[in-house]
């Protein structure tokens, strides 16, 4: 559980707007941007491009909310580059401009606790793995101070909602600006709730 904690630090290679970049880190956004950091299992698959293209289609909406979008999988930067430069009608994600982090050593997925599979030992005592070592569909909303404020992790067959991710950004920013908490199904422009000094029990009874 990372909510309320500092997002794990990492440095890795990435593909940014179709170009390989060395030494990418989320810390570049510290103090200036919100970050929507999401993991997906593999390049050149089926559900994954629907999500990556969906986030690209909504990128202007995230940018209007001072939020950057960053993707990550356990593929290499070269696989990311090939996918990002393959036309969509051929199974690629050409036109995706936000960073795609290459986590080929699986260290980033482990730090965010979204790495599938388990490490075990065989009869000879050698290290082995049960299950495929790729990332679940984890999504983390990180504030400008580097604190994780929202997270959701889906199993691999279950695609996420871009609209829900935007709603969470809106809710966090509303709370930060007005100090009001956001009830079930709240959307930007709707009435929120002013917490009382009695704490949780106080506003739950309102």
Residues 134 and 146 in one domain: yes
Residues 120 and 74 in one domain: yes
pLDDT average, residue stretch 185-191: 89
pLDDT average, residue stretch 123-129: 64
Band the pLDDT of 191: cuts 50, 70, 90.
Answer: confident
Residue 96 lies in a domain: yes
Residues 22 and 56 in one domain: yes
Residues 32 and 124 in one domain: yes
Residue 206 lies in a domain: yes
Residues 205 and 121 in one domain: no
Residue written as tokens 């593909």? 15
Residues 180 and 104 in one domain: no
The CATH number assigned to the domain holding 24 equals 3.40.30.10
The predicted pLDDT at position 202 comes to: 42
| pLDDT tens digits for range 146-186 | 999 999 999 999 999 999 999 999 999 999 999 989 989 89
Residues 175 and 154 in one domain: no
Distance (Å, whole) CA 164 – CA 106? 27
Residues 172 and 152 in one domain: no
Domain boundary among 137, 160, 183: 160
Please choose, from the candidates 42, 44, 47, 54, the residue with its C-alpha nearest in 3D space to the C-alpha of residue 92. 44
Domain count, the chain: 2
Say if residues 138 and 151 touch (Cβ distance below 8 Å). Answer: yes
Reduce the DSSP state of residue 133 to 3 states and report it: coil
Residues 138 and 41 in one domain: yes
| pLDDT tens digits for range 47-82 | 999 999 999 999 999 999 999 999 999 999 999 999
The predicted pLDDT at position 50 comes to: 95
Residue 81 lies in a domain: yes
Share of the chain above pLDDT 90, in %: 80
Residue 1 lies in a domain: no
Residue 6 lies in a domain: no
pLDDT of 201 strictly over 50: no
Band the pLDDT of 35: cuts 50, 70, 90.
Answer: very high
Which residues, 6 or more positions from 6, have their beta carbon under 8 angstroms from its beta carbon? 146, 147, 148
Domain of residue 175: give its range.
161-206
User: φ and ψ at 83, to 5 degrees?
Assistant: -65, -40
Q: Does 122 or 155 have the greater pLDDT score?
A: 155
pLDDT average, residue stretch 23-47: 96
Residues 108 and 186 in one domain: no
The predicted pLDDT at position 196 comes to: 73
Share of the chain above pLDDT 70, in %: 89
The predicted pLDDT at position 132 comes to: 80
Residue 94 lies in a domain: yes
Residues 168 and 95 in one domain: no
pLDDT of 45 strictly over 60: yes
The pTM of the full predicted model, rounded to 2 decimals, is: 0.89
Active site residues: 48
Residues 33 and 134 in one domain: yes
Distance (Å, whole) CA 202 – CA 206? 7
Identify the burial level of 73 via C-beta atoms within 10 angstroms of its C-beta, where 0-12 means exposed, 13-18 middle and 19 or more buried. Answer: buried
């Amino acid at each position: 559980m990372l909510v309320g904690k500092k997002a794990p630090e990492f440095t890795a290679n990435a593909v940014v707007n179709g170009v390989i970049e060395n030494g990418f880190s989320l810390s570049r956004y510290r103090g200036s941007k919100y970050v929507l950091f999401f993991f997906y299992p593999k390049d050149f698959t089926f559900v994954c491009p629907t999500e990556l293209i969906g986030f690209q289609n909504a990128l202007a909406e995230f940018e209007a909310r001072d939020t950057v979008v960053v993707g990550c999988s356990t593929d290499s930067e070269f696989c990311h580059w090939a996918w990002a430069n393959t036309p969509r009608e051929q199974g690629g994600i050409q036109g995706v401009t936000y960073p795609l982090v290459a986590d080929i050593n699986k260290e980033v997925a482990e730090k965010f606790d979204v790495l599938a599979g388990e490490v075990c030992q065989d009869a000879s005592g050698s290290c082995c793995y049960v299950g495929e070592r790729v990332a679940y569909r984890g999504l983390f909303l990180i504030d400008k101070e580097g604190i994780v404020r929202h997270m959701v992790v889906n199993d691999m067959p279950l695609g996420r909602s871009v609209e829900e991710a935007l709603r969470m950004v809106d809710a966090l920013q509303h709370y930060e600006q007005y100090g009001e908490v956001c009830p079930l199904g709240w959307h930007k422009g709707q009435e929120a709730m002013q917490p009382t000094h009695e704490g949780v029990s106080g506003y739950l009874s309102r």
